[in-house]
Amino acid sequence: MTTNPIRITVNARERVQAAPPRMSLLDWLRGLGLTGAKEGCAEGECGACAVLVARPDGDASVRWTALNSCLPPAAALDGQEIVTAEGLADGADGLHPVQQEMAQRGGSQCGYCTPGFICSMAAEFYRPERRATGDEDADEGVDGSSGVSAPCGDSHGPNGFDLHALSGNLCRCTGYRPIRDAAYALGRPHPGDPLARRCASAAPAAAATSVAAEDGWFLRPATLAEALDRLAQDPKMVVIAGATDLGVERNIRHARPRGLLAIDHLPELQAITWADDAVEIGAAATLSEIERTVSGRVPLLAQLLPQFASRLIRNSATLGGNLGTASPIGDAAPALLALDAELDLVSAAGRRTVPLKDFFTGYRQTVRTAGELIRVVRIPLPLQPHTAFHKIAKRRFEDISSVAVAYAVTLRDGHVDDVRIGLGGVAATPLRALAAEDALRGREWTPATVDEAASVLRAEGTPMDDLRASADYRAEMLAQSLHRFLAEREDREDRSEEHVKEETRP
C-alpha cells in the first residue's frame, strides 16, 4: 500500500506530491503550477476544470477520457495517467490540432473556459468510434485538420464529431458557434500524434492506495474482500466510485467525511455480463461505459443515458452511486424500476438480492445496511418491447429533473398485456405507478384507455412545490407524459407502415 505522497503521471512526467485525503484533483494539479484547469462551479457543471485521463479500453489499449477534476480526490488518481491542456501539444510541432482550430476560428475570448473545452474536444478527437465514422473524403492536412464546415443545428459534424462531448462545458462570452466550427473542422489524429500512439498500449492499473492525515484518510483497497472488511470495521466511511456526488456535497454542504473508501477499480463491481435471462451491470461501471456496451441492446437505457447530466459526468458517474444516494430525483431509478431491475447487495457477512421497487424506504433512505455495497444491477430478460423515458426539466440537457417517467409495455392483440411505469420527482422516493399500471393492464391500447389511465397517473405520488416546479405542474406532467407515450407509439407505427409501403411499392 502506498502512503503520502501520491504518484500521478501528468503530461508524460511522473509527479510525486503530497495529497491530503480530501484534496481535489484540481487543487493538486494547480499546486503543481498547472493552472490551465480552473474552478468555476466546483460542482461538475461548467467544465472549466476538465482534464484527460487514460482509461482502459479493453485489456491492451487506452481511451482518453475527459472528466471534471474539481470532483474526485487527487488520491483517487494515484498511479494513473493524466493530460492537462498544458500537455496536449507536442513541443516540436507547436499547437495541438484542437488548439489550432480553436485559435483559428475564434473559439476563445476571455479564455477562462477554453482549457476545459480543449480537453473535452481532445477526448472526442481521439475517440475510436469517431475515427471509424468520420468523413473519409475530408480534405485533411498533415496536422489532422480539415476545412469542412458543418450544417447548422446538427449535433454531429461531417467529421463524426459529437457535440454532446461538450455538453458539460459552459462558455459565458465566446458563444458556441465558433467552438462548434472548430470541433467540426477537426480531422483525424496524425499518425505520429503521441497521444494517439499512447492509445495502442495498456492503461496503468489502479494502485492500491492509503493516504492518512490528522483529519481523515483515503483508502483504495486491492480487493473487494478487503473493501468489505474495512467497511465492516468502519461503516461510516463514505464509499466513492466516480465521486461526482462527493464533490458537490463538499462544495455546497461543506461535507468533510473522515474516511473515503474508493471502489471504482474493483473488477467485480465493473463487469458487464450478459446471460439468457438477465444483463448484470457492475455498480461501479461508468455510465459512459454502459452507453457503449449496453444501451444499444436495452433501448430504455439508450433513451435515458444521453439525458443524464453531461458527458463529463457520465465519464465518472455510476449506477451504484446514483441509486445508493437514494435521491428522489435521480434519473436512473425510474428507468430501472420500469425495467424491473434488482440489486445484489454484498457485505463481509454475505450477499442478498433486493428488487429495486423494495430498495427505497424513505427520503434518501434504503434497505442497505451498514457495511453493505451495491455489487450489480440486474435487468431481467427478455425486455418489454415498447419503452420510453421522459425527462421534464427546465433545460433539455444537463439539468435536474422536475419529473421523470419511464415506461416498459408489452402489447398483445391491441391490448396491454403487461406494463411497468417508474416515476421520479413526485415523492420522497422513486416509485412504481402501480395504480396507473392497473388502470392499463388488460385494457385495449386506445386513446380512451390512455385518457382514463392518465387521470390515475396524475394522482400518483405526493408531488410538492419547490424551486423546480409546482405540485400541480408535476401532476399535470405525469398525465401529459402518458399521452405523449401514446402519440410516440402511434407515430412509430405510422412510420413503420409507410416504410413497408415504400419497400413494397413497384
Residue 498 pLDDT: 61
91 pLDDT exceeds 90? no
Q: For residue 496, what pLDDT band results from cuts at 50, 70 and 90? A: low
DSSP 482: H
E strands in 22-160 = 50-56, 62-68, 81-83
Do residues 176 and 211 share a domain?
A: no
Residues 47 and 172 both lie in one domain: no
Radius of gyration of the chain (CA): 24
Q: State whether 84 and 217 are in the same domain.
A: yes
- pLDDT at residue number 114: 97
**Mapped to the 3 state alphabet, what secondary structure does 163-202 carry?**
HHHHCCCCCCCCCHHHHHHHHHCECCCCCCCHHHHHCCCC
Q: What is the pLDDT of residues 225-237, one digit of tens each?
A: 999 999 999 999 9
Which three cell numbers, joined as nine digits, stand for 292? 457503449
Supply the CATH number for residue 480's domain. Answer: 3.30.390.50
| pLDDT score for 490 | 87
CATH of the domain at 11: 3.10.20.30
pLDDT at 255: 85
Per-residue pLDDT, 92: 61
Which CA distances in Å does 209 have to 75, 263, 368, 494? 8, 11, 26, 57
Residue 462 lies in a domain: yes
Terminal Cα distance for the chain, rounded: 72
- 102 with 181, same domain: the answer is yes
**Averaged over 128-156, what is the pLDDT?**
50
The string of pLDDT tens digits covering residues 286-333 is 999 999 999 889 999 999 999 999 999 999 999 999 999 999 999 999
Q: Is the pLDDT of residue 150 over 60?
A: no
- At 502, the amino acid letter reads E
Please give the residue range of the domain that contains residue 430: 386-497
Both 171 and 78 in a single domain? no
Q: What is the pLDDT of residue 215?
A: 84
15-34 per-position pLDDT tens digit: 999 999 999 999 999 999 99
In a domain, 371, yes or no: no
Question: In terms of domains, do 148 and 46 share one?
Answer: no
Specify the DSSP class assigned to residue 259: E
When divided into structural domains, the chain yields a total of 3
Residues 171 and 214 in one domain: no
Which residue, of 262, 289, 307, is where some domain finishes?
A: 262
pLDDT recorded at residue 389: 98
Cell numbers for 284, please give them: 461501479
Q: Residues 478-487: what's their mean pLDDT?
A: 97
Average pLDDT over residues 247-261: 89
Cα 161 → chain centroid: 19
The confidence band for 145, taking pLDDT boundaries of 50, 70 and 90, is very low
CATH of the domain at 112: 1.10.150.120
The answer to whether residue 367 scores a pLDDT higher than 70 is yes
d(CA 351, CA 345): 6
For 268-304, what is the HEC assignment?
HHHCEEECCCEEEEECCCEHHHHHHHCCCCCHHHHHH
Shared-domain flag, residues 394 and 482: yes
The reply to whether 164 and 227 lie within a common domain is no
pLDDT confidence bin for 492, thresholds 50/70/90: confident
Residues 398 and 434 in one domain: yes
Q: Is residue 438 part of a domain?
A: yes
Q: Are residues 144 and 116 in the same domain?
A: yes
Amino acid 155: pLDDT: 87
CA distance 229 to 221: 10
Give me the mean pLDDT over the 145-155 stretch.
Answer: 45
41 and 103 together in one domain:
no
* Residues 254, 260, 264, 269, CA torsion sign: negative
- 12 in a domain, yes or no? yes
